[in-house]
Amino acid sequence: MEETVPRIARESAPQGPVARTLGRWTAAQLTMPGVWSAVEASLAALKAEPGIRWDLRDLQRLDHLGAQALWNHWGHQWPAQLEVLPDQRAMLERVARFAVVPPPYRRRTLWEYFLGLGELLFKLTDHLQDLLRLIGQLMLDLMRLVRAPRDGPWRDVTGHIFHIGATALPITALVGFLIGVVLAYLTSQQLRLFGAEIYIVNILGLSLIRELGPVLAAVLIAGRSGSAITAQIGVMRVTEELDAMRVMGIPQGFRLVMPRAMAMALAMPLITLWTTIAALVGGMLAADIVLGITPSYFINNLPRAVMVSNLWLAMGKSVVFGLLIALIGCHYGLRVKPNTESLGQGTTASVVTSITVVILIDALFAVIFKNIGI
């Protein structure tokens, strides 16, 4: 039975040492588990003998991967002594003709890091300018809508409210419920140590209504609907629909940006309220199971533990979150270039930027309104 595993046999001869290649040097054999590492070890052991004679005539088969491995080991030059068959030489010559020597690694200098920082600042400034221009255009479009409400794209607004809000209710309720259960379970473990189980109503109510509810809903909508907004507008760029709208004189801000911004601003408070209720239900059930606090006690004490101003603050934050998610999604969608690679990059950047901005704005709200509802 013929040996198929690629290997190198070092033999001694009167003319000097010989490196005889055996087996099948093909992609199917070289990529088998453990084979490539063994071949690399054999090649590394032969580097100490630069004048060794190579004999490839006993190879059963040689393809481009095997020839490339040998060519790389030879340092992209022919060895001094080489015995090959005509077909093998043709394969090696083809690899030698098209092989590219990788550039040497060069450490970046401090000046290059400084120039890279400047390039990053220029890109950030460009994004901020476009986003500011988009906000200004949205204000002008809203003024136009107030002057002529009958000409507004109301069907687009209601359609986006349905797709952004109604279709997101199941996933937001599920995630909110599970977050409430986890938070109640972990909180109960600490409160039980101090005999303060009744304060779980205060902790769950304040944390879910004021912070976790709006942020959780905004993160879910940013990943779900923000990416969809970018993808929708980006596909319009790829299919040249945006160019057609410009030629026909249809304002992109009035027909694309404003309906999505209005729908997101209207839907986000409702989604936040829905997610917060689901989280409170999950926390209430967990508190009943773990601590024995009944749902009736939880519901009766929740208004006394959490001031209503926290709810209004959460609703206000949700409107801001919704507007920012919609504007960021439209911003990256309008910047998509007419190719699929740019579409994927824009969608990813939209989601990451939206989530980052939501967390930053939430931190800003926490600092500004730190004395309200506490």
Looking at residue 65, its pLDDT comes to 85
Q: How far apart are CA 172 and CA 166, in angstroms?
A: 10
Structure tokens at 177: 């419920």
User: How distant, in Å, are the alpha carbons of 229, 273, 279 from that of 217?
Assistant: 17, 9, 11
- Residue 112 is predicted with a pLDDT of 87
CA distance linking residue 256 with residue 153, whole number of Å: 9
Look at residue 332 in the predicted model and tell me its pLDDT: 94
Instruction: Tell me the three state secondary structure of residue 106.
Output: coil
pLDDT of residue 2: 53
Task: List domains and CATH numbers for the chain.
Answer: 7-98 (3.30.750), 119-368 (no CATH)
Count CA atoms within 13 Å of residue 128 on its CB side. 7
8, β-bridge pairs? 21
CA distance 348 to 178: 26
* Token output for 149: 């409400």
Backbone phi, then psi, for 337, in 5-degree steps? -85, 160
pLDDT at 142: 92
Provide the pLDDT for residue 172.
93
Q: Are 291 and 188 in contact (CB under 8 A)?
A: yes
- Tally of CB atoms within 10 A around 365: 21
* pLDDT score of 1: 41
Cβ distance 365 to 336 under 8 Å? no
Query: What is the pTM for the complete model shown?
Result: 0.74
Local confidence pLDDT in tens for the 374 residues of the chain: 456 788 888 777 777 788 888 888 888 888 888 888 888 888 887 776 767 888 888 888 888 888 888 888 887 888 878 888 888 888 888 888 887 777 777 888 888 888 889 999 999 999 899 989 999 999 999 999 999 988 888 999 999 999 988 899 999 999 999 999 999 998 888 888 888 888 888 889 889 999 899 999 999 999 999 999 999 999 999 888 988 988 998 888 899 999 999 999 999 999 999 999 999 999 999 988 888 888 898 888 888 888 888 899 999 999 999 999 999 999 999 999 988 888 989 999 999 999 999 999 999 998 998 887 66
The whole-number pLDDT of residue 272 equals 94
